[in-house]
Amino acid sequence: MKLHQKTFIITGATSGMGRAIALDFAKEGANLVLSGRDESRGKNLSEEIEENGGKAEFLAGDVGDMDYNQQLVELAIKSFGQLDGLVTNAGMLGLGSVTELEPSDWDITFRTNVDSVFYLLKFALPEMLKRPSAAVVVNSSIAAYKSFPNHPAYCASKAALLALAKQVAVDYGPTVRINTMCPGPVDTPFIHASAVAFPDPAQAVANAGKATLLKRLGLPADISKLALFLACDDSSWITGSAFTIDGGILAAG
């Protein structure tokens, strides 16, 4: 098992990519603290993991709240006695052009997408530094590199994550490794929510798959496999890097 007896906190764990990551990490022996807003989905996920022999704790809350992030770290230590890594997966869109977007929507997008990662790192790093090695996987987006109509808050916040991760790599290596995933269009509820910024949302989703060189949307399992690689010792000489996983959509131009 690639993550045997290691403890990870996974945010945004109750659906889509986060859920797939949680299930794959559990199969590889990780002890998990799961974060999400939906209490019912979180409990169901924890029960599914435990029914299959894994160990998981769920704590519902808002990742944009600093105290909640501290509680996640405290739960990991209380439940499992250690913290070996993070997968920061929670996110929101904040749709609207710059002139249309309310400042409050800009703020909450950055609070959810960027501040939450800073808060969790702030409380988790002291615990991870106690371990022989630790790994952080930050889920960003190709939106860090590519603009989309009416997505200024989302694109800017995802780009900020790349810079934050590189800075943490510089300041906390060699004990802590940190890398960023930049997914393209993945078949989750999130892409369908994002598509409402386009005149024909259903066609926008279909076009996103066709625009990739591999002619399909990504699957949550595609992303979870990369997350697992970056979290385990198979990537022990990789830190401060960003990995595009987009079916070739950026290469296509």
- What amino acid positions are annotated as catalytic residues? 154
Left if phi > 0, otherwise alpha if psi is -120 to 50, otherwise beta: which for 139?
Answer: beta
Distance CA 47, CA 2 (A): 22
**Number of neighbours of residue 252 by Cβ within 10 angstroms:** 10
